[in-house]
Amino acid sequence: MGTEDRKAAVSAYKKREVESGIYAVRCKVSGAVWVGSSPDLSKIQNRLWFTLRQGTNTHRSLQSAWTAHGAEAFSFEIVERLDAEEIGYVRDRVMKEHLVQWAECLQAIRI
């Protein structure tokens, strides 16, 4: 990759739309559900799966279920995308409120 191609790729990456929102991780075997929020939904599943495979995820119940049932037993879904128009601190507050609502709705553990 040439210098100009690299600069164009970096520029395109910086200009991409970042979606924030609420996601759910489900264990098909146990029926357990965990919900979390992320300022960048495009990266959160990779981060979660990486820490779970390494055995270093900080959410003990999720890590225990992963260890007991394996990766095949888990699914990831985005349950809500938040409006990108929100200012950072407003978005964070809205994300926290919606996370609580989704945890109650899905009877899930917040992560």
Kindly report, residue by residue over 3-38, the tens digit of the pLDDT.
777 777 666 656 667 789 999 999 999 999 999 999
Q: Is 10 domain-assigned? A: no
Q: Which domain holds residue 73?
A: 21-110
Q: Is 77 domain-assigned? A: yes
110, containing H or E segment: strand 109-110
Residue 80's pLDDT is what?
A: 96
- Overall domain count for the chain: 1
Residue 5's pLDDT is what?
A: 77
Q: Which residues does 103 contact at the CB level (< 8 Å), separation at least 6?
A: 35, 109, 110
Burial of 51 (0-12, 13-18, 19+ CB in 10 A): middle
Q: Is 55 domain-assigned? A: yes
Is 2 a residue whose pLDDT tops 90?
A: no
Residue 13's pLDDT is what?
A: 59
Is 111 a residue whose pLDDT tops 90?
A: yes
Q: How many Cβ atoms sit within 10 Å of the Cβ of residue 46?
A: 10
Tokens coding 111: 């992560």
Q: Is 2 domain-assigned? A: no
Residue 9's pLDDT is what?
A: 67
Residues 40-69 have a mean pLDDT of 97
Q: Whole-model pTM?
A: 0.82
Q: 57 or 90: whose pLDDT is higher?
A: 57
